[in-house]
Amino acid sequence: MSTAAPTPRSRVTRVPKRGVYDRATIDAILDEALIAHVGFAVEQQPYVIPMLLARVGDRVYVHGSTASRMVRKLAAGVPACLTVTLADGLVLARSAFHHSMNYRSVVLLGDAVLVEGADERAAALEAFTEKLLPGRWDEIRGPNEQELKATRVLAMEVSEASAKVRTGGPVDDEEDYALDTWAGVIPLALRAGAPEPDARLAPGIEPSQAVLDWAAARGW
Amino acid sequence: MSTAAPTPRSRVTRVPKRGVYDRATIDAILDEALIAHVGFAVEQQPYVIPMLLARVGDRVYVHGSTASRMVRKLAAGVPACLTVTLADGLVLARSAFHHSMNYRSVVLLGDAVLVEGADERAAALEAFTEKLLPGRWDEIRGPNEQELKATRVLAMEVSEASAKVRTGGPVDDEEDYALDTWAGVIPLALRAGAPEPDARLAPGIEPSQAVLDWAAARGW
């Protein structure tokens, strides 16, 4: 895999110590995030839209309806920005100024391209389902011709990506450590509740092990 | 409060039944979300950056360092898009095509403006802290002159906002209900772990009730 070397526009300039560029970190953040925020501009007006994402190797995929204004715009080949952010904690400092959040984010710049090859499209669609729930692809009906026609898959390269990560406790001004204010971190994570069966589920159909495992691993 | 009536550019065109425009729904989503994804363009290239947000009445605030490239750009008065998304659940259908997520999102279009009035800046800074943790403002040292100089506060109006909400179980093709695949929803939510004290916290300083309440209300 390529190294995601920072370019002038993808380099983290603000608090540069938080900037990381190694592909393992970038990939792990992209793979954990369920939702990306994808930005594109139409006549100077930027739009930022939430989309599911899935990574396969050096490409990050998003998808949408053939009828979607956004998908049509992106598929025409315009500069885009795909950003994912994972909230990891509230950072409660002794001063208002040093309050912060722990987070991991990736910003990916580049043109989105329409994926036209049947094999790559199929692999990307499988990746979306497997991203939501590993093992799910083998449990469900795959896409038919009509559904494939109704879906557009777009790809962006991971090559121009940067990650930003904040971890750890608050960093207060030296004199504020004398205050008697509690300071620390409240950890945050996206967690899962117990699976809720569809109202039309036939009696006797139980959640698969894949469903139970996913929910249990993230249970609240 | 004003009604957020859809304009042609903020109207939800894709799956219009998911589009909602009432201010109560929009405000509730903006207030629950800790992080906004803010988009702006520099010479055709869009950037999407995660930022903390706080709403006061009809304005949504973000803030950043006076030294930040992004904050300087936004403060110059450019079209922006502020989007928040709350992930509420995996929607597991019987076919790949109908897999989805339950979510609530708000897209807010408009120019960001630099907040220059001292009173509004002070109110916004208090709102950021109170947004992270209600009750925190009274527990901590407020901003001093130097910190106020180092911080820029930007505002966007809620007037041109739209929300999109998906709830409920999967909607499958009629013939797929005969499949013996489990289908339903795995609920998701951002949850909190137990508060972790700062390594430099003096002995005997316990978390305040505000800290304990916040974490308990979202406990996993």
Residue A5 has pLDDT above 60, yes or no: no
Residue A1 has pLDDT above 50, yes or no: no
Alpha-carbon distance A8 to A6, whole Å? Answer: 7
Whether residue A5 lies inside any domain: the answer is no
Query: Pick from B65, B90, B143: which is nearest to A96 by CB?
Result: B143
Residue A38 has pLDDT above 80, yes or no: yes
Question: Which residue range(s) make up the domain with B79?
Answer: 16-173
Q: Which comes out higher in pLDDT, residue B208 or A12? A: B208
Q: List the 122-151 stretch of B: residues with Cβ below 8 A of A.
A: 125-126, 128-129, 132-133, 136-137, 139-144, 147, 150-151
β partners of residue A213: none
For B14, what's the count of Cα atoms within 13 Å in the CB-facing half-sphere? Answer: 14
Whether residue B2 lies inside any domain: the answer is no
Whether residue A7 lies inside any domain: the answer is no
pLDDT at residue number A120: 97
Over chain B (220 residues), the average pLDDT of each successive run of 10 is 52 66 94 97 93 97 92 91 98 98 97 95 97 97 96 94 96 97 98 98 96 96
HEC readout, B83-119: EEEEEEEEEECCECCCCEEEEEEEEEEEECEECCCHH
Q: Using one digit for the tens of pLDDT, what is the confidence trace for A68-119?
A: 888 999 998 889 999 999 999 999 999 999 999 999 999 999 999 999 999 9
pLDDT at residue number B205: 97
Q: Using one digit for the tens of pLDDT, what is the confidence trace for A124-141?
A: 999 999 999 999 999 999
Whether residue B121 lies inside any domain: the answer is yes
Alpha-carbon distance A110 to A112, whole Å? Answer: 6
Pair (A42, A81) in one structural domain: yes
Pair (B110, B217) in one structural domain: no
> Do A67 and A149 contact (CB within 8 A), yes or no?
no
Pair (A167, A194) in one structural domain: no
> Do A15 and A163 contact (CB within 8 A), yes or no?
no
Task: Give alpha helix (H) positions in B9-133.
Answer: 23-32, 69-75, 118-132
Whether residue B42 lies inside any domain: the answer is yes
Q: How confident is the model at residue A8 (pLDDT cuts 50, 70, 90)?
A: low
Q: Which amino acid is it at A45? A: Q
pLDDT at residue number A77: 86
Pair (B123, B81) in one structural domain: yes
Residue B33, phi then psi, degrees to nearest 5 = -70, 135
Q: List the 58-87 stretch of A: residues with Cβ below 8 A of B.
A: 64-65, 67-70, 79-83, 85, 87
Structure tokens given for A45: 């007006």
Residue A2 has pLDDT above 50, yes or no: no
Pair (B143, B207) in one structural domain: no
What contacts A114, CB < 8 A, 6 or more positions away?
Answer: A75, A77, A152, A153, A154
What contacts A8, CB < 8 A, 6 or more positions away?
Answer: none
pLDDT at residue number A15: 64
pLDDT at residue number B18: 72
> Do A210 and A134 contact (CB within 8 A), yes or no?
yes
Total of domains in chain A: 2
> Do A86 and A32 contact (CB within 8 A), yes or no?
yes
Residue A14 has pLDDT above 70, yes or no: no
Judging contacts by C-beta atoms under 8 Å, the chain A residues touching residue B195 are 92, 182, 184-186
Whether residue A4 lies inside any domain: the answer is no
Pair (B165, B196) in one structural domain: no
ipTM for the whole predicted complex goes beyond 0.95: no
Whether residue B11 lies inside any domain: the answer is no
pLDDT at residue number A80: 97
Judging contacts by C-beta atoms under 8 Å, the chain B residues touching residue A14 are 64-65, 67-70
pLDDT at residue number B2: 37
Q: Do B143 and A205 touch (CB under 8 A)?
A: no
Q: Check residue A77 and give left, alpha or beta (phi > 0: left; psi -120 to 50: alpha).
A: left
Query: Pick from A92, A144, A215: which is nearest to B186 by CB?
Result: A215
> Do A63 and A38 contact (CB within 8 A), yes or no?
no
Q: How confident is the model at residue A160 (pLDDT cuts 50, 70, 90)?
A: confident
**Average pLDDT for chain A:** 92
Pair (B82, B127) in one structural domain: yes
Structure tokens given for B216: 């308990």
pLDDT at residue number A115: 96
Pair (B94, B150) in one structural domain: yes
CATH of the domain at A140: 2.30.110.10
Pair (B107, B199) in one structural domain: no
Pair (A128, A39) in one structural domain: yes
Q: How confident is the model at residue A13 (pLDDT cuts 50, 70, 90)?
A: low
DSSP string, chain A: ----PPPTTTS--SSGGGEE--HHHHHHHHHH-SEEEEEEEETTEEEEEEEE-EEETTEEEEEEETT-HHHHHHHTT-EEEEEEEEEEEEEE-SBSTT-EEEEEEEEEEEE-EE---HHHHHHHHHHHHHHHSTTGGGGSBPP-HHHHHTEEEEEEEGGGEEEEEE-SS----GGGGGS----EEEEEEEEE---EE-TTPPTT-PPPHHHHHHHHHTB-
Whether residue B178 lies inside any domain: the answer is no
Query: Pick from B128, B179, B206: which is nearest to A182 by CB?
Result: B206
Q: What percent of chain A has pLDDT over 90?
A: 83
Q: What percent of chain A has pLDDT over 70?
A: 92
Pair (A135, A48) in one structural domain: yes
Pair (B148, B96) in one structural domain: yes
